[in-house]
Amino acid sequence: MKKALQLLAVSALAGSLVLTGCGSKPAAEPNNAKKAGGTLIYGRGGDSVKLDPHNVTDGESFRVTENIYDTLVDFEKDSTKVIPGLATEWQTSADGKTWTFKLRQGVKFHDGTDFNAKAVVYNFERMWDKNHPQHKGDFEYFHDMFGGFKGEGSVIEGIKAVDDYTVEFKLSRPLAPFLANLAMSTFAIISPAALEKYGEKIAQNPVGTGPFKFKEWKPNDSITLEKNDQYWQKGLPKLDKIVFKVIPDNTARLTALKSGEIDVMDGLNPSDVKQVEADSKLQVLLRPSMNVGYLAMNNTKKPFDNPKVRQAISMAINKKGLIDSFYAGLAQPAVNPMPPSVWGYNKDIKDYEYNPEKAKQLLAEAGYPNGFETDFWAMPVARPYMPQPQKIAEAIQADLAKIGIKTKIVSFEWATYLKKTKNGEHPMALLGWTGDNGDPDNFLYVLLDKDTANPPAAQNISLYKSDKVHELLTKAQVTSDQAQRTKLYEEAQKIIHEDAPMVPLVHSRPALAAAKSVKGYVPHPKGSESLVDVSIEK
């Protein structure tokens, strides 16, 4: 999440019936750039979990759904400033509790049905109302970003179609990040007719209004999308086809790029950046840092229910050593669970020093003078915040061994790994988070509030529950003044630091590589992007 973005949400709350959203981006204007067409093959480390954006939280799923679906509002290409999407303009009431959106007319879903206000209401009622016939799944993001489901504490009180192209949301209380939340990939608009046709199988048969239409999915191999010739943005998309190809190993993926087998790859090993820069046929694309890679400790399981054990582990991990060995300078040690690029970051907090001897003392005080044994879960696929998770796990394993903690590294297939960590089955687990909307709420509330520590759909996989942190974070959600919100987030970070529910490890600057012939690719800070105006020019 970026700064301008958060400001937008806050100012929207403070405003009184102010029309917003006009003239932000040439979204619907003809693009004068050279139209190239062709097929772009995108190499990535893991497969998508589902293509139902309402029911996923992983970046590999959003990487694909962002090209199939549109959202009501969107982010600018290189920031989290909110701009028009399927909604052309919006207004909020003086008390910040009523939001009205004017919708774009003449837009069709890929199945030929009309996009309109009823479609928007259908989508949000699907996520909001557990009694909706298509409410099949966890809808974790909706729950976490809007405080729960209908009748269970949700900030949303009602959604209605005012007319064919006007939608109104009623909130029970102001929600500062409301507009930025709507721009998140998970709140994409799905064809209601397709939802009724496919039910839960919409996850394998996605139908949106986006620039590309779904064609084929070969699990753990590739997903193919083809151009939507009827896309509402004139002259776009430029490409005829996109193939998202799974190549798990970063080095093998780079070899495929060099050979011309693929056109773009994510997960470029930081140590390979200079090599790519020196290749006249390739280019390096650096994504702005808005992430955190972390070690979660399950606060509900012994011995991790003891803060001294968690603090000892925080002191035992050599973060600088990890960065030197695996990030080639494209990362900084993490002190807080949110990156310094997001407003509200508490720069006064000092990190736990790397000190194995003090860590041993803390372990002894906690009742573990000889350490202990535990399983240590590591992701099976490279992520932007963790380019070599297995090797990073081995380095942390060696650090922990120095204070007497013997670990067995465990891993699972990616979808299973996510499911089991959300269910709280792990003792310790590596994971990370790339921000979705540029607001501190999207890091602190999602990753560490007690509301989100509920298996089997916990986003807070440390299962950390602090009433005081909850009070601060929920107060920040209904506060319109950014300076006041900043104070609340700074205070929450102090408490979190003392409690040490997780070890924030790094904030990385993820690197991608592409053939020089790929034009117009702008990596977005939130970790994935639409390829609507990317082209291949040879």
Q: What is the DSSP string of 198-261?
A: HGGGGGTS---SSSEEEEEEETTTEEEEEE-TT-SSTT----SEEEEEE--SHHHHHHHHHHTS
Task: For residues 331 and 324, give the distance between their C-alpha atoms in angstroms, rounded to a whole number.
Answer: 9
Looking at residue 36, its pLDDT comes to 58
**How confident is the model over 345-353, as a mean pLDDT?**
97
Say which amino acid occupies 351.
D
What's the DSSP call for residue 187?
Answer: G
Looking at residue 340, its pLDDT comes to 94
Query: Quick check: 78 and 25 in contact, CB under 8 A?
Result: no
Task: For residues 537 and 535, give the distance between their C-alpha atoms in angstroms, rounded to a whole number.
Answer: 6
Residue 144 pLDDT grade (very low, low, confident, very high; cuts 50, 70, 90): confident
Task: For residues 450 and 501, give the distance between their C-alpha atoms in angstroms, rounded to a whole number.
Answer: 12
Looking at residue 31, its pLDDT comes to 45
Looking at residue 538, its pLDDT comes to 77
What percent of the chain is modeled with pLDDT above 90? 87
Task: For residues 186 and 184, give the distance between their C-alpha atoms in angstroms, rounded to a whole number.
Answer: 5
Residues whose CB is less than 8 angstroms from the CB of residue 151 and which lie 6 or more positions away in sequence, other chains included? none
Task: For residues 488 and 340, give the distance between their C-alpha atoms in angstroms, rounded to a whole number.
Answer: 16
H-assigned helices in 260-355: 273-277, 307-316, 319-326
Tell me the per-residue pLDDT of 26-45, one tens digit each, with 9 for 90 and over. 344 444 444 458 999 999 98
Say which amino acid occupies 165.
Y
Residue 110 pLDDT grade (very low, low, confident, very high; cuts 50, 70, 90): very high
Query: Quick check: 381 and 248 in contact, CB under 8 A?
Result: yes
Looking at residue 480, its pLDDT comes to 84
**How confident is the model over 215-233, as a mean pLDDT?**
97
Task: For residues 41 and 45, give the distance between their C-alpha atoms in angstroms, rounded to a whole number.
Answer: 13
Does position 1 have pLDDT exceeding 60, yes or no?
A: no
Task: For residues 439 and 176, give the distance between their C-alpha atoms in angstroms, rounded to a whole number.
Answer: 9
Write down the residue that tokens 């209908």 correspond to. Answer: 150
Residues whose CB is less than 8 angstroms from the CB of residue 23 and which lie 6 or more positions away in sequence, other chains included? none
Residues whose CB is less than 8 angstroms from the CB of residue 518 and which lie 6 or more positions away in sequence, other chains included? 40, 263, 264, 283, 534, 535, 536
DSSP three-state, residue 285 = strand
Does position 137 have pLDDT exceeding 50, yes or no?
A: yes
What the block records as the tokens of 449 is 């509030």
Say which amino acid occupies 255.
T
- pTM for the whole thing? 0.83
Task: For residues 165 and 355, give the distance between their C-alpha atoms in angstroms, rounded to a whole number.
Answer: 61
b/e per residue 410-421 (b: at least 16 CB within 10 A): bbbebbebbbbb
Query: Quick check: 477 and 175 in contact, CB under 8 A?
Result: yes
Query: Quick check: 478 and 173 in contact, CB under 8 A?
Result: yes
- CA-based nearest residue to 388, from 402, 378, 400: 378
Looking at residue 414, its pLDDT comes to 86
H-assigned helices in 423-481: 441-448, 467-477
Q: Which residues sit opposite 92 in a β-bridge?
A: 99
Write down the residue that tokens 């909110």 correspond to. Answer: 82
- CA-based nearest residue to 179, from 100, 69, 289, 63: 100
Looking at residue 32, its pLDDT comes to 44
CA separation, residue 374 to residues 193, 359, 386, 409 (Å): 49, 17, 22, 9
Looking at residue 337, its pLDDT comes to 98
Looking at residue 383, its pLDDT comes to 87
Does position 23 have pLDDT exceeding 70, yes or no?
A: no
Task: For residues 107 and 103, give the distance between their C-alpha atoms in angstroms, rounded to a whole number.
Answer: 9
Residue 5 pLDDT grade (very low, low, confident, very high; cuts 50, 70, 90): very low
Does position 439 have pLDDT exceeding 80, yes or no?
A: yes
Q: Which residues sit opposite 221 in a β-bridge?
A: none
Task: For residues 97 and 337, give the distance between their C-alpha atoms in angstroms, rounded to a whole number.
Answer: 30
What the block records as the tokens of 514 is 């592409």
- CA-based nearest residue to 445, from 342, 317, 525, 312: 342
Tell me the per-residue pLDDT of 268-292, one tens digit each, with 9 for 90 and over. 999 999 999 999 999 999 999 999 9
Tell me the per-residue pLDDT of 150-185, one tens digit each, with 9 for 90 and over. 999 899 999 999 999 999 999 999 999 999 999 999
Task: For residues 368 and 388, give the distance between their C-alpha atoms in angstroms, rounded to a whole number.
Answer: 31
Tell me the per-residue pLDDT of 510-533, one tens digit each, with 9 for 90 and over. 999 999 999 999 999 999 999 999
Residues whose CB is less than 8 angstroms from the CB of residue 1 and which lie 6 or more positions away in sequence, other chains included? 80, 180, 290, 342, 435, 436, 437, 438, 439, 440, 442, 443, 525, 526
What the block records as the tokens of 131 is 């009694």
Tell me the per-residue pLDDT of 297-330, one tens digit each, with 9 for 90 and over. 999 999 999 999 999 999 999 999 999 999 998 9
